[in-house]
Structure 1
Amino acid sequence: MAYKFRIGESAGDGIRRMARQQIDKALDEIADGELDQHATVHQVRKRCKKVRALLRLARGDLDAAGKIYQRENVCFRDAARRLSNVRDAQAMLETCDKLKETVSSQSDLQHLRDLRDELEARMRNPSLREDDLDERLDAFAVTFREARIRVDAWPVGDGFGSLAPGLKKNYRQGRNAMRKAARKPGTAHFHDWRKRVKYHLYHIQVLAPSWKHVLKPWQDEIKRLGDDLGDEHDLAVFTQMLAQNPGDFCSRANHDALQELSRQRRTQLQIRTLSLGQRVFAEKPKPLTNRLRAYWAASLSGSA
């Protein structure tokens, strides 16, 4: 079943249904023997983000009912964090591959090939593997099974009013994070903005059926922004890895060349994301929320 509201579905029913589906998909992926561990980690961490986006969307009702939002958000956040170092290792390989696509110098290409070979060798080295990954995935599955039982009791109302506060709050946070990143570019500010963009993407994705011809193209642009911010963040981690281990992966000359390549690409991505972000976050939070509320209401009356 798709990660989106069905036309005519109540807010509460949709939130709970989508949360259960994401949990079930994560459990299936952990049990799937055909997926390698790195692919499994990537997928189940994505499920956590999608569930947390639903929690943020329904935060108004969940906050009103007590500490349900806080409890569940911490649950899914911590579950994903326990697998973060595994995903970081794979992300560094992907960053090398993406950097190779942006350079033309043969010497720079060779530096990246050499670094990638070294990173891949380390991942395959039995002495450097995550020996407890199977146990961590098993623990993740236990956490998800317990969380699934609680989902049915999430007190989310029927109408758009149950979604509006969370939608508006995250969007406002995204606008503010973008402004901070523009005023003072840096890893922390761009990373915070990236998280808000990702949640906004999922919010628009689940609401898109209310007027898919308008919201689907917008969703695609938000995804493009999120992908670029993800690449920018991976480059920040990549740069930090090199800085903390200057002699572990390559010579000093290669190290300096790779740092400069990363710096240049990050600058390009920061300029590009801020330009696109001004369009994605052009609308103020209240008008945006009211517009999406109107789409939701129109879809119920058969006008979508």
Structure 2
Amino acid sequence: MAGQRAASAVRSLPARVAGRLPVPSLALGDLRDGLVGALAQEAGQRRLFPWLAVAFGAGILVELTATDGPPMLVAPLSAAVLAVATSFALRARPVALALMLALAAAFLGFAAAAYRVASVASPVLARTMIAPLTGLVEALDEREQGARLVVKVIAFGTLEEVGRPTRVRVSYRKAQAIKPGDRISAVARLLPPPEAARPGGYDFARDAYFRGIGAVGSLTGRIDVIAPTGPLPWRLRLAAAIDDARNALTRRITDANGGQAGAVAAALVTGKRGLISPQTNDVLRAAGIYHVVTMMRVCRHLHTTWLEYPGPGATA
């Protein structure tokens, strides 16, 4: 009898425990009440306004990751105007007003991202080519051997302007007296910007697209510095002067500290990473601090983007 009572008690244990524990409800009414309560709490603490930035960023994320084809501008702008107009009619209903303003911010973020994609659009090289390249040096990163250049293309082989990259990133191994602002001519081997090596990995092609770079490669043979045929555009002159000053500061810091310590110190100040050796890069990555150097380079790009890439329809 005792064994039967024990077995019965064990069998009834789950039912008794379930009856004493609260069971979460996933009803739509509860979700709605929770959302309203959360919005009311945010509104009571005057914290709704910062959420507009979150909605704006969500719109940007949708445009950059979930859309394909030509960027859309008219549709999201029209939807944003409609959402703002609707918010005036709903100003007596705080929750609906907040949601409508968030929707308007999301559409505006979508439109801003679409405008940015359209403003930096430029031809991308379709295949590997070896041909004479003529262009203006916009930026120069010195390396242990040679340098890496960003060149605004004037001519490349027989390509017409429609299919010719606007900018290319090239490297060369021989040390030559080249500085930002020079007009150069050399034989270049160019190929399309490489895409991500694995899903979710670093996508250089995306980064190159937003910097207006349509090809990467190297210069072979002799590099000739050609006398300019006229004054350089003021944007290029200013960008070249800033980049030249950063290179001079990089050399000064490197020479003062010496070795790889000087190269890392210079990269932290100017964002120029070319003098850091591959071995030092591996050490920085293993230590988990390589992102510090990378962020300095990103900040430099943000500071000079408006000088180097003026946008759609703009003239340098």
TM-score by length of 2: 0.21
Structure (1/2) with the larger strand percentage: 2
Structure (1/2) with the larger helix percentage: 1
Using CA pairs under 8 Å that are at least 6 residues apart, name the structure with larger relative contact order, 1 or 2.
1
Structure whose CA Rg is larger: 2
